[in-house]
Amino acid sequence: MRIVAEHLGYTYNARSPFSTRALDGIDLTIEEGEFFGIIGHTGSGKSTFVQHLNGLLRVPSAEKHGKKKMRGDTVLRVGDFDLTDKKTDFRALRRSVGMVFQYPEYQLFAETVFDDVAFGYKNFAEKKPEREELEKVVREALEIVGLDYEEIKEMSPFDLSGGQKRRVAIAGVIVTRPEVLVLDEPAAGLDPLGKREVMELLHRLHREWCKTVVVVSHDMDEIAENCTRVAVFADGKVKYVLPPRELFRRSDELLSLGLDIPLTAKLVLALAARGIDIDCDYSTEDFVAKVLSLGKGGAC
């Protein structure tokens, strides 16, 4: 499913003294099959944007049919779903677009891991699923997130470690096999190893279950290592949409926006200042390979 947004705007507390313009004319297309990154400051609009993707926030009718600026030209489509249309089947949309919020483990609630993961499935099922079917889908969801079904199904989610809880929470979202998976800071608050495991999990999901993965992150290293393309949000607008290789070549511009850059980009800048040009895609792998290829023949 392709995601297309054109002229998308959103104002919190519209027509009140606290009105805040969170999205100000977003134009962004995410192709099916991408591992797409969204970066930007707190308050840049990135969370507001992703909450539109499964209809948690709706395109307000005022924006759609409003006066001068918008005049009904707002476009927001996910696959065949037209999200500007009130008659759209949002339930069906939510089955296809899975949303994992920040710290999803805080949303675990059931008495057992099984019940927690099954909840999402039952919630979206057309009719009440048979026990057998439920067992099958929960098992598959827990297994793909790397947990042992038999061992964990009867445990209380609250007795698990932080990393396990997060996996269970993700399992509860992907149990409906969404085509698009959107995650807000999926690795935040985990230790470095936990982070790495979560990113590996997302790649596995991307390969096997979810065609498109959209990740909102503050961690530039994570973005540089993993994403096909990256959108930079600033002040409710999309500043750039580029693959990491091109985006981090503009490190100076990112820094002037007050954003961080990945370590590899810092090293590329520091080497450029010493007259050494490295052309890499800013993954650790490629950076190391390119530096080593320079070193051939040189001696220390």
Partner 1 sequence: MTALEFRDVSFRYGEDGAFAIENLNFSVEEGEFVAVLGHNGSGKSTLARLADGLLTADRGEISVFGEPITEKTLQSVRKKVGIVFQNPDNQTVASIVEDDVAFGAENIGLPREEIGARIAFALGAVGMEEYRTAMVSRLSGGQKQRIAIAGVLALRPKLMILDESTAMLDPRGRREIVDVVRRLNEREGVTVLMITHFMEEAMLASRAVVMNRGEIVMRGAPAEIFRRHEELLTYNLALPRIGEICKRLQAGGLPVSDTLDADALAEEIAKCVS
Residues near partner 1 (CB under 8 A) are 41-43, 103, 161-163, 188-194, 196, 218, 221, 258, 260, 263-264, 266-267, 270-271, 273-276, 284, 287-288, 291-292, 294-295, 298, 300
Phi, psi of 293 (to 5 degrees): -70, -25
Nearer to partner 1, 33 or 162 (CB): 162
79 is written with which tokens? 């696959």
If DSSP codes are grouped into helix, strand and coil, which group holds residue 206?
A: helix
CB of 61 closer than 8 Å to CB of 87: no
Least separation in angstroms between residue 215's CB and partner 1 is 15
Least separation in angstroms between residue 180's CB and partner 1 is 25
CA angle 118, 30, 243 (to 5 degrees): 115
- Return the amino acid letter for 156: S
Least separation in angstroms between residue 184's CB and partner 1 is 12
Nearer to partner 1, 16 or 300 (CB): 300
Least separation in angstroms between residue 111's CB and partner 1 is 19
Strand partners, 6: 75
Q: How far apart are the first and last CA of the chain?
A: 52
CB of 217 closer than 8 Å to CB of 37: yes
Least separation in angstroms between residue 16's CB and partner 1 is 14
Least separation in angstroms between residue 219's CB and partner 1 is 8
> b/e string for 144-154 if b means 16 or more Cβ within 10 A?
bbbbebeebbe
Strand partners, 230: 37, 242
Nearer to partner 1, 34 or 185 (CB): 185
Nearer to partner 1, 20 or 123 (CB): 20
Nearer to partner 1, 188 or 242 (CB): 188
Nearer to partner 1, 41 or 139 (CB): 41
Residue-by-residue DSSP string for 158-184: GGS-HHHHHHHHHHHHHTT--SEEEEE
Other CB atoms within 10 Å distance of the CB of residue 213: 25
State the number of CA atoms in the 13 A half-sphere of 74 facing the CB.
28
Nearer to partner 1, 3 or 224 (CB): 224
